[in-house]
Amino acid sequence: MSATATAMPAAASAVTPAPKSATVRTSVRVPLRFADGYSTDADVMTFIGLVDGKEHLLLGLGDWRVALEESRDGGEAPLMRPHSECLTGDVFGSERCDCGPQLREAVERIAHSGGFLAYLRQEGRGIGLYAKLDAYALQDAGLDTYEANRAVGHADDERDYSMVAQMLAAVGADRIRLLSNNPDKAAQLEGLGVRVEAQVPTAVHLTAANARYLAAKRDVTGHLLELA
């Protein structure tokens, strides 16, 4: 594979070398309405040139253009959350994890202050949907969420946030306030050249069904979670 860097990505092809930059492909306004009735509009952006070729989205929420202008003028950086796809939690309301409530919370908080939510197609911390469900079966046999990932042949967390840095650069956001409890997201984004000026914690969405999952996130990967 050639390592030659080109400024303009070639026409969409799955085998082109990873480009350094991505560009916005389309932006379309989508009215969102959640199950609890909360609604807002999102500018849903698609991209050309994302490193892994997957169909990741960036949602511009609230007055995100104003937030960007204020950021460029030295004001507060826009609020931003990278949210990894969770079909069971985001779509079906599974209580095995806290993804659905985190997504719902993030959209409202970001819409309120103006900013971005990246919706990333890396299910199950990057292992995929079937493997995640296999890991659930092992969790029912007593393993925690990370032990179960390892038992099905995967790492604790296989996510990579390079495409987030690409998407933020494409819209001109070079500094953010990161809405996340996950220290790895902050570290990776900083390493990718995004200035993470603050890490803003999300609420704790604790239920009887997800208590062990949240405890493992806190104890194994250092998530900032206060569990009663």
- Binding residues for Zn ion, total number by CB under 5 A: 4
C-beta of 75 vs 93, nearer to Zn ion: 93
* Near Zn ion in 140-179, by CB under 5 A: none
C-alpha 194/C-alpha 167 separation (Å) is 11
Residues taking part in catalysis: 157, 159
Does residue 214 interact with Zn ion by CB under 5 A?
Answer: no
216 is a site residue for Zn ion (CB under 5 A): no
Q: How far is CA 98 from the centre of its chain?
A: 14
DSSP 118-169: EEE--HHHHT-HHHHHHHHHHHHTT--HHHHHHHTT--S-----HHHHHHHH
Q: How many CA atoms lie within 13 A of 208 on its CB side?
A: 0
Minimum distance, C-beta of residue 182 to Zn ion, in the bound complex (Å): 13
Any contact of residue 120 with Zn ion (CB under 5 A)? Answer: no
Looking at residues 59 to 98 of the shown chain, list those that interact with Zn ion (rule: CB under 5 A). Answer: 86, 89, 97
The smaller minimum CB distance to Zn ion, of residues 154 and 177, is found at: 154
Q: Which of 151, 149, 143 minimizes the C-alpha distance to 122?
A: 149
User: 56 or 132, CB closer to Zn ion?
Assistant: 132
Q: Which residues bind Zn ion (CB under 5 A)?
A: 86, 89, 97, 99
